[in-house]
A and B are shown apart, each in its own frame.
Chain A
Amino acid sequence: MAYSDKVIEHYEHPRNVGSFDKGDEEVGTGLVGAPACGDVMKLQIKVKDGVITDAKFKTFGCGSAIASSSLATEMIKGMTLEQAAEIKNTQIVQELNLPPVKIHCSVLAEDAIKAAIDDYKKKHSR
């Protein structure tokens, strides 16, 4: 399968790879997917005053999954939690030119963002 230039670019130079301390009060962690399905994404956000100041990811998956999560971290930096929660997978599909068989990668990235926000909110609802 031929990959789009944008997927290759993100795959070769992924943005924001890494991890924050899960226990940190300012951090929300989303872990989605399953090894048996061939993709797992971990996406973390650092939040101050309702704004995502930083984001990091690690992904086990195909090139499109890595690119989708890399792009997702770029997109959400500087957004409020509400804005980030509004991100739709179709924006990722468009930006990366994903073919139909790779749409699930963008869905997973959307899920990862939502899971990270939920985790952060849970920490702060106590």
Chain B
Amino acid sequence: MKLPIFMDNHSTTPVDQRVVDTMLPYFTEKFGNAASRNHVFGWTAEAAVENARAQIAALIGGDAKEIVFTSGATESDNLALKGVASFYKKLGNHIVTVETEHKAILDSAKRLQREGFEITFLRPAKDGTVSPEQVAEAVGPKTLLVSVMLANNEIGVVQDLEAIGAAIKAKNPKTLFHSDAVQGAGKVPIDVERMKLDLVSLSSHKMYGPKGVGALWVRRKPRVRIDPLIDGGGHERGMRSGTLAVPLIVAFGRAAEIAKAEMAEESARLRALRDRLFRGITAKLNEVYVNGPDPLEHPERRLSGNLNISFAFVEGESLLMALKDVAVSSGSACTSASLEPSYVLRALGAGDDLAHSSIRFGIGRFNTEEEIDYVIDLVTKSVSRLRELSPLWEMHQDGIDINSIQWTPH
């Protein structure tokens, strides 16, 4: 087993060797511009891009012509929200989203809010789920768009987009439905028809493809319109100008193809590893709390490779320091630039102290059982050591409720 271990597959994933092999020729002998219409170099590149479009569209049950390539999902999210808001502003002024969405959604929504749009930020239930009723209640005659992510990047909660899509369209058939499917795509099945989706954001580097490329799927039947954010040569049917990054797009397509072909098998394998990690840790440590849906009771509501748990009375960053040979992440304020604990965990009402104590494990394609066992052992030892150092643990052992103490926030 090689150290350090990468167990942070929600942040990014290594590029699958099969993907690298597929993309390499497009840097050298097949380097053409996909927009060159009058020679074989351009035709070769264009054919490769069209093939990738079909591979990506197939992953979500869409049509190849509906894929708009972008620089990544942040751009896709910006394009979806701002593009729809700009194009349809005469028809309405209201957008609905969720407090636990990715910052690319939240900050785009906040910008639109400053420009005069009305934004509803829904608060999810304690396990992170959003109910169809809750969404439908927020939708009105002026609602242009609802944006709900497929799977959350911190707590891995998988939303019931089929029920949510149905509820939105029942309330207002004209309201468009967008999903940031970055974390879920390639891991759980998506079907844009069944889910009544109009726009979907996708990212390559979360599914073992390279960084720097993403896509926005935009429905053609009935046609969904968006104003572009980037003007120029009219690429991507005018929705996103700029020369296509052919090697990255080819790689993204191959990554999507592999993800689709291996999804069922991979998901089962990751779930077994995740459950082994969860059971292994909770067998040896008490006062461990799951953030998001219970992985054993509601596995269908959680990404199979995700485990987000709080080790009460231990601060997250200090635990990360002890786990220096394992790459994981924490919702602790100390690990974020803003010095605020995870806004996702706070939206669930977890309490700031538990947000500070959270660790996110993101198990991926290349993790092994041996690595899981190493992590169980290291986490158990480190948490025990840090609890011996923790005044809060000492109080807890003495039967003192730490919530009963008058603390002095600083």
User: How many angstroms from the CA of A2 to the CA of B389 in the assembled complex?
Assistant: 22
Q: Is B402 interfacial (CB-CB < 8 Å)? A: yes
**B314-330 vs A, Cβ < 8 Å mask (1 yes, 0 no):** 11111001000000000
What mask results when residues 47 to 78 of chain A are scored 1 for a CB within 8 Å of chain B, else 0? Answer: 00000000000111111011000000000000
The distance from the CB of B336 to the nearest CB of chain A, in whole angstroms, is 10
DSSP majority for the A interface? mixed
Closest to A111 in B: B410
Q: How far is the CA of A37 from the CA of B393 in the complex (A)?
A: 16
Give min CB distance, A3 to chain B, whole Å.
7
Whether B116 is near chain A, meaning CB under 8 Å from some CB there, is no
Nearest Cβ on chain B to A120's Cβ, whole angstroms: 18
Q: Is the CB of A31 within 8 A of B391?
A: yes
User: Is A35 in contact with B408, judged by CB distance below 8 angstroms?
Assistant: no
A87 at the interface (CB under 8 A from B): no
Chain B residues, Cβ within 8 Å of A58:
389-391, 394
* Nearest A residue (CB) for B337: A101
Q: Which residue of A lies closest to B352 (CB)?
A: A36
Q: A33-B410, A34-B409, A35-B402 in contact; A14/B394 too (CB < 8 A)?
A: no
Question: What separation, in Å, do the CA atoms of A77 and B349 have in the docked complex?
Answer: 42
Q: Kindly provide the distance from the CB of A34 to the nearest chain B CB, expressed in whole angstroms.
A: 4
In the complex the two chains form, is B321's CB within 8 Å of A33's CB? no
Rounded to whole angstroms, the CA-CA distance of A14 and B333 in the bound complex is 23
Chain B contact patch, size range: 20 to 34
Inter-subunit contact A34/B389 (CB<8 Å): no
> Which among A19, A38, A108, A111 is the interface contact of B332 at CB below 8 angstroms?
A38
Does A118 lie at the interface of the complex (its beta carbon under 8 Å from any beta carbon of B)? no
Contact indicator B407/A42 (Cβ below 8 Å): no
**B402 contacts A33, C-beta separation under 8 Å:** no
B391 touching A62, Cβ below 8 Å: no
Alpha-carbon gap, A77 to B38, bound state (A):
82
Q: Across the interface, which residues of A come within 8 angstroms of B353, CB to CB? A: 35-36, 38
B343 to chain A, nearest CB (A): 14
Closest to A105 in B: B334
* B394-410 interface (Cβ within 8 A of A): 394, 402, 407-410
Residues of B within 8 A of A111 (CB): 410
A11 within 8 A of B: yes
**Do A39 and B315 have beta carbons less than 8 Å apart?**
yes
A11-B321, A61-B318, A62-B317 as given contacts; A38 in contact with B394, CB under 8 Å: no
Residues B389 and A17 in contact, CB atoms below 8 Å apart: yes
**Contact assessment for B321 and A63 in the assembled complex, using a CB-CB cutoff below 8 Å:** yes
Q: Are B407 and A108 in contact (CB under 8 A)?
A: no
Per CB-CB distance, the 9 closest pairs between chain A and chain B, nearest first, are A34-B407, A35-B353, A36-B352, A42-B391, A62-B317, A58-B391, A38-B356, A62-B334, A63-B321
Add 9 more A-B contacts to A19-B394, A35-B353, A60-B392 (CB < 8 A).
Answer: A1-B335, A17-B389, A34-B408, A35-B356, A36-B409, A38-B353, A61-B315, A62-B318, A111-B410
Could you give 28 example pairs across A and B, Cβ below 8 Å? A3-B321, A8-B321, A11-B318, A32-B410, A33-B408, A33-B410, A34-B408, A35-B353, A35-B356, A35-B392, A36-B407, A36-B409, A37-B410, A38-B332, A38-B352, A40-B391, A40-B392, A59-B389, A60-B314, A60-B389, A61-B315, A62-B315, A62-B318, A62-B321, A62-B334, A63-B317, A63-B318, A66-B389
B residues with a Cβ closer than 8 A to A are 313-318, 321, 332-335, 339, 341, 351-353, 356, 388-394, 402, 407-410
* A interface residues (Cβ-Cβ under 8 A, vs B): 1, 3, 8, 11, 14, 17, 19, 31-42, 58-63, 65-66, 101, 104, 107-108, 111
